[in-house]
């Protein structure tokens, strides 16, 4: 696992899987997990470049992105639970209340 190109290919693959989950899935929980997958792919690329350049800035960026991702998932999960309790669905196509 010393090859940075391999880690970048894995990072790009994970990011594309998360992007496909955001684009094609309708369930809000799946979309939220796909966004987290995309953030983890960005973390992997930051860590790879930080190791490649022997720099701490990339590792600090990973820490910052992890903090933002934790806050985003907590707020997003709270919103999904609130929407599910009121509308009895987690399908993004069924939510019309946000458009008005």
Separation between Cα atoms, residue 48 and residue 79, nearest integer Å: 33
| 23 touches 64 (CB < 8 A) | no
Spans of all domains in the chain: 6-94
How much is the pLDDT for 84? Answer: 86
How much is the pLDDT for 100? Answer: 55
> Is 1.10.287.3510 the CATH classification of the domain at 6-94?
yes
Report the candidate in 16, 71, 63 with the shortest Cα–Cα distance to residue 43. 63
Three-state secondary-structure class, residue 30: helix
Rounded to two decimals, what is the model's pTM? 0.85
Task: Give mean pLDDT in consecutive 10-residue pieces for the chain, a chain of 100 residues.
Answer: 86 97 92 94 93 88 92 92 85 70
């Amino acid at each position: 696992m010393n090859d940075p190109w391999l880690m970048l290919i894995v990072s790009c693959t994970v990011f594309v899987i998360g992007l496909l989950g955001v684009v094609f899935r309708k369930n809000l929980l799946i979309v939220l997990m796909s966004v987290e997958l995309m953030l983890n792919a960005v973390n992997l690329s930051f860590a790879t470049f930080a190791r490649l350049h022997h720099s701490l800035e990339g590792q600090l960026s990973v820490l910052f992105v992890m903090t933002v991702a934790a806050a985003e998932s907590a707020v997003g999960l709270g919103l999904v639970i609130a929407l599910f309790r009121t509308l009895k669905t987690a399908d993004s196509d069924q939510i019309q209340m946000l458009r008005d």
